[in-house]
Homo-oligomer: A and B are copies of this chain.
Amino acid sequence: MSLLVVGSVAFDAVSGPRGSVDRMLGGSATYFAVAASYFTPVRVVGVVGDDFEEEHHQVFLDHGICTEGLERAPGKTFFWSGVYSQDMNERRTLDTQLNVFASFQPKLPPHYRQSPYLFLGNIDPELQSLVQDQMESPELIGADTMNFWIEGKRKELEKTLRNIHALIINDSEARQLSGEWNLAKAARAIRALGPHTVVIKRGDNGASLFRDGETFSTSALPIEEVCDPTGAGDSFAGGFMGYLASQRTAVDNLSRSTLRRAIIYGSVMGSFAVERFGLERLRHLSQEEIAARFQEFRHLTHFE
């Protein structure tokens, strides 16, 4: 079933202990869409500038991603550059140029409005609400957010949260949003704000799902040679939402085992994302590789 994602499409410059790349396609919607495309048809809503060329567009097309909602505006595409610490544990932003993204007002092509699955990437919560308002009645709405909005647009974010089903955020964001250090308590507090499901990404410590009467946790695959963590969280969300959308079940009928598999597929896509710079690894996966890595997670975590 169709999965609509709204978020940033960007050019990134990344450097770290494994090398650097001056300019490559990135952005939360891009990582999400490419990861999700292995599971389900994806539609993307975002904005790009004059510097978004055919080769960049082709990345989406190669994955069967519908780009009808990808607006082209005069000016430059959103640009971000950052540097990772020697141990890959910290990231410092060097430069953020919003460019055409500064005046982005998401407009959904008419047939996008019936998309049964929606993911609101990490953008201004007012824009997230604007997208929600244009949708007819999606069966499952997932969302992401970040410290910047939690701090600066709390009220608007709370409005978005009231109307979503699943929030997918990282541990520090969960702590900041809830005011609770303990993640089980944090998830409970966030669920009280609206979403019935809270997924907390814990980086190389794994991910946890909290839902009424259900908690599931997975460890992350130990990867010795992390090349570039950029987009890992968005790829996780893409795998998670993409798998759920592929199951064609209404939100009330999501079984425990479907949700658990979705967390694993999210982790699978996140683990691929970090192996190379940018989309390099994520773009060239086979269904066999995805299935094999799913089994690696089973091997990593199961006991008799």
Binding site for B on A (CB under 8 A): 87-89, 180-185, 187-188, 202, 204-206, 208, 210, 215-220, 222-224, 226, 257, 260-261, 263-264, 298, 300-304
Contacts and interface: CB of A to CB of B under 8 A. Distances in A.
Contacts of A264: 303
A217 B216 contact: no
B218 A301 contact: yes
B301 A217 contact: yes
A52 B303 CA distance: 41
Contacts of A184: 222-224
Given A87-B181, A89-B181, A303-B260, A219 B224 contact: no
Given A205-B206, A206-B205, A206-B217, A222 B301 contact: no
Nearest to A175: B87
Contact of A88 (B182, B202, B257): B182
Given A206-B219, A218-B219, A224 B302 contact: no
Contacts of A224: 182, 184-185, 188
Contacts of A263: 303
Nearest to A185: B224
A118 B220 CA distance: 31
B181 A222 contact: no
Given A88-B182, A217-B219, 19 more contacts: A87-B182, A88-B181, A89-B181, A183-B204, A183-B222, A185-B224, A187-B222, A202-B205, A205-B206, A206-B206, A216-B300, A216-B301, A217-B300, A218-B219, A257-B303, A260-B302, A261-B303, A261-B304, A263-B303
A181 B215 CA distance: 29
Contacts of A180: 87
Given A182-B226, A217-B222, A222-B184, A301 B301 contact: yes
Contacts of A223: 182, 184
Contacts of A218: 219, 301, 303
A202 B203 CA distance: 13
A206 B220 CA distance: 11
A176 to B, nearest CB: 12
Output the residue of A204, A205, A223 with the most chain B CB within 10 A. A205
